[in-house]
Amino acid sequence: MSAVSTLAAYVDGVGFLGPGLADWPAAARVLSGEARWERAPTALPPPQCLPSAERRRTGAPVRLTLAVGLEASAHAGADPASLAAVFSSSGGDGENCHEICQVLASGDRQLSPTRFHNSVHNAAAGYWGIATGATTAANALCAHDASFAAGLLEALCQVAVERTGVILITYDTSCPEPMHSARPIPDACGVALVLRPAAGAASLARLEASWSAECADRMEDDALERLRAAIPAARSLPLLALLARQRTGRVLVDYLDDTRLAVQVSPCR
């Protein structure tokens, strides 16, 4: 990224939901060392803002992304419909995929139409638009374990080039057996960041990204480090820890095999 001095954005809002971490304030207390992390299954709230017909059709990824996306929008004081959206997930809806593969392996291959349209990787992005009324561009990315950094990179490029506000929503959910053995993601985890091209009253910190070949940062706490390593969306934790502590610092976010995304964090308050 040598040519760019300005791949930067302001974080105006954060949303988080993961194992034992019910929202961003709860996660921030743990990440800043104010509270101990008590491991508990991720508690997904019912899907907010969706019409009841759609609500019945949604799985864990939709509940998760609506929860963190709406939390981050509210935190930023932003109308979600005004933001472009970047969704990234390492595996989309594994449970829905499992159900489809089971039916296709059976004698009767009658798929549920709802299962099929929910099988697209951008299903969560589609429901986000239906729930929030956002007609802005919505992207849906996958980069396996690198999905958080890949989503952040896309979001930063949109902020820099389109000069627009963007909500980044990165999420993962676990899948049932037999897929779970092949991809053992232990629980659901989602993070959302509202990013803007210019500082405003709500801005928490400025982020500036560049490449690095150094090792990715780990969490000091062993249990949180296991969480970071186990769920691709939780690769966001070292960056979120700097935001929670409102500290200036540089964090190396895990990306592809031989590349890290180095993010300089400068608090605005």
Partner 1 sequence: MTALALTSFTATSAIGRGLAATLASLRAQRSGLAPCRFETVTLATCVGEVAGVDEVQLPRALGEFQCRNNRLAWLGLTQDGFSAAVAECAARHGRKRIGVFLGTSTSGILETEMAYRHRDPSSGALPREFRYRGAHNTFSLAAFAQQALELSGPAVVISTACSSSAKAFASARRAIEAGVIDAAVVGGVDSLCLTTLYGFHSLQLVSRTPCRPFDTARDGISIGEAAAFALLERPGSSLDAHTVLLTGTGESSDAYHMSSPPPDGRGARAAMQQALAAAALAPEDIEYINFHGTGTAGNDAAEGRAVAGVLGSEIPGSSTKGATGHTLGAAGALEAVICAVALQAQLMPAGINTREVDPALPVRYLRENRLGRLSRVMSNSFGFGGANCSLIFARAG
Q: Which of 147, 129, 104, 109 is nearest to 233 (CA)?
A: 147
* Distance from C-alpha of 103 to C-alpha of 101, rounded to nearest angstrom: 5
Number of residues that make up the chain: 269
From CA 166, how far away is CA 155, in angstroms rounded? Answer: 6
Q: Are 7 and 157 in contact (CB under 8 A)?
A: yes
Closest to partner 1 by CB, 32 vs 259, is 259
Residue closer to partner 1 by CB (options 85, 191) is: 85
- Cβ 20 to partner 1 shortest distance, Å: 26
Q: 192 near 68, Cβ under 8 Å?
A: yes
* Closest distance of CB 222 from partner 1, Å: 26
Running DSSP on this structure, what letter comes out for residue 260?
E
**Comparison of 28 and 192: residue with beta carbon closer to partner 1:** 192
Nearer to partner 1, 112 or 248 (CB): 112
Q: Which is nearer to partner 1, 122 or 266 (CB)?
A: 122
Least gap, CB of 230 to partner 1 (angstroms): 15
CB of 141 to partner 1, least distance (A): 5
Enumerate residues 6+ apart whose C-beta is below 8 A from 5. Answer: none
Nearer to partner 1, 28 or 156 (CB): 156
- Please report how close the Cβ of residue 124 comes to partner 1 at its closest, in angstroms: 9
Decide: residue 182, CB within 10 A, 0-12 exposed, 13-18 middle, 19+ buried.
Answer: exposed
Residues that bind partner 1 (CB under 8 A): 1, 3-4, 7, 54, 57, 81, 85, 90-92, 97, 100-102, 104-105, 109-113, 115-123, 125-127, 129-130, 132-144, 146-147, 150, 153-154, 156-158, 160-162, 177-179, 181-183, 211, 256, 258-259
CB of residue 178 to partner 1, shortest distance in Å: 5
- How many CB atoms within 10 Å of residue 65? 29
